[in-house]
Structure 1
């Protein structure tokens, strides 16, 4: 394979050189409440609620999990070094809220649209993309969600990337996009698999577009570099999402990305809902990621 996470490719599109991602800092973040920013509820509107420390926001949307229900988690893993294999799924492959993992899909859509138009990203789009992926900035996500045409634009791009069960959030609520673990593996394939993906309806991401997204996903802010990276013993590239639902107080905690374990490289998606706390949800997601990758290693 031509790409390996950490170190990143030496010729990224982004103008700032990459630096190695680190998992350090999570526990301190959870104790000090340093994780910030709000989950947007409008494409270009104001934030839905005040910063709460560890919550991206309470978005006022409906929830699929009752306050008294048990947490649920679904994982999907694909061994990139055995592309003929299908993703190994654990748990029910049903829709979950994306929270901020949708930001990878937003950027993939933006790049695909730019390819279609025969142009590169503008400097402003580069600035938004960097902030959205590296720091999970929601103002930047608002701007790019609007730029891609919100849910219709996202869904049109996803058809070309092979997704079949992802529905964009309505009324500008990109964080309430519904997706499955299998569909998240398809997004990751479009970004990390050699040659991306292709379909009868159009071209996939170019190598340059893939490299750009990969590079940003290896530069995640230290306080947000938890999740699927727990399953890696070498390099990783990821994007996380976290959302406390206003109707229940329960947490959606998600993590997607590529990890290196042993001599193999895996695409991993872990989606969860109904967690009693952010810390508990992160711990559950990391356990699930480790278990899923260990199982995939045994098969490989």
Structure 2
């Protein structure tokens, strides 16, 4: 993905920047078939007697180009200075004006843990649309459990219902995700913050020509706005209202944690899509604190860039 820059002038500001930053075992991630893994001018001279040759030329001036990726990196530097083994990637989109920013490497992949549950439900909704039907009562019950309570057994059942990991990859291709690879042990699905931002655009966007129907998007958003109280952390720290899904997964081999959070937040009357992925966190609590600080800093950078 090429780096975009924000160019401002006295008359206009064209904004576009790319953003990517980087994961309680019960609600974090279920590894199917095994236990949960505890593991950014000059004005022309004007003649006093204007003529065709000496007519005034409009003055042009520009302020310096602003690189939001670099600004984001600068804002995050003090937050990450003491993070030790933790690796982080974040992607942010101003849903009102379209400004983007990325940190952490476009191709840096992380295990999804339970944020993949949004992806699984999106795939199920696509399947139902293709079949010209609504979700069954059983599917709805499992969807509620999977998103609102982060129930792992429901996620395993619904992944099977859509056709497994290969079917999830096919759904992701339709949704525009290009760097996400599904795993049968769904918590080990690999993704990037940029791809998660693409998924959020599919869920929260307003384009009528997207793969997910308006009804499907409304349904999924509603569940993400009703996650249980003990799971209302993460990107929610960056706004006054939110709809989100979190993932948390300890690793057996290292004892370190993946802590992830994706969703939409509203701050100062503007909406933002935010995806924060992380790995190598020493504890769940430390990971949550870092993810929240990163989300707040990222939204502030993009909000300032859009306002400027």
* TM-score of the pair, normalised by structure 1: 0.76
Offset at residue 196 of structure 1 (A): 5.9
Kept in 1, the 8 Å contact 2:257–2:283? The answer is: yes
Q: What's 2:298 paired with?
A: 292
1:232-271 to 2 correspondences below 5 Å: 232=239, 234-271=240-277
1:206-245 to 2 correspondences below 5 Å: 206-232=213-239, 234-245=240-251
* Whole-angstrom distance in 2 between the partners of 1:157 and 1:118: 16
Alignment of 1:272 onto 2:278: yes
* Whole-angstrom distance in 2 between the partners of 1:197 and 1:97: 30
Offset at residue 263 of structure 1 (A): 1.7
Runs ≥4 residues deviating over 6 A? none
Give the gaps of 5 or more residues in structure 2.
Answer: 1-23, 40-83
**Paired residue secondary structure (1:168):** coil
Give the gaps of 5 or more residues in structure 1.
Answer: 1-32, 50-56, 61-68, 199-203
Alignment of 1:118 onto 2:132: yes
Write out per-residue CA displacement over residues 167-212 of structure 1, whole angstroms, 9 at most, x where no aligned residue.
001xx200000000000000000000102663xxxxx100000000
Kept in 1, the 8 Å contact 2:27–2:114? The answer is: no
* Whole-angstrom distance in 2 between the partners of 1:197 and 1:78: 20
**Paired residue secondary structure (2:265):** strand
Alignment of 1:58 onto 2:37: yes
Kept in 2, the 8 Å contact 1:189–1:197? The answer is: no
Write out per-residue CA displacement over residues 97-131 of structure 1, whole angstroms, 9 at most, x where no aligned residue.
00000000000000011101101100000000000
Kept in 2, the 8 Å contact 1:166–1:183? The answer is: yes
- CA change 1:252–1:162 in 2 (3 A) is same
* Whole-angstrom distance in 1 between the partners of 2:253 and 2:140: 35
Q: What's 1:129 paired with?
A: 143
**Paired residue secondary structure (1:270):** strand
* Whole-angstrom distance in 1 between the partners of 2:254 and 2:248: 15
Kept in 1, the 8 Å contact 2:29–2:247? The answer is: no
* TM-score of the pair, normalised by structure 2: 0.74
Larger radius of gyration: 2
* Whole-angstrom distance in 1 between the partners of 2:91 and 2:266: 15
Write out per-residue CA displacement over residues 134-164 of structure 1, whole angstroms, 9 at most, x where no aligned residue.
0000010010010111111111111111110
Offset at residue 70 of structure 1 (A): 1.5
Query: Among residues 185, 205, 218, which one is paired with 2:197 in the alignment?
Result: 185
Offset at residue 40 of structure 1 (A): 2.2
Report the more deviating stretch, 159-168 or 188-197.
188-197
Q: What's 1:12 paired with?
A: none
Q: What's 1:82 paired with?
A: 97
- CA change 1:237–1:158 in 2 (3 A) is same
* Whole-angstrom distance in 1 between the partners of 2:97 and 2:28: 38
* Whole-angstrom distance in 2 between the partners of 1:228 and 1:235: 10
Query: How many pairs are equivalent?
Result: 239
* Whole-angstrom distance in 1 between the partners of 2:37 and 2:86: 18
Offset at residue 39 of structure 1 (A): 2.8
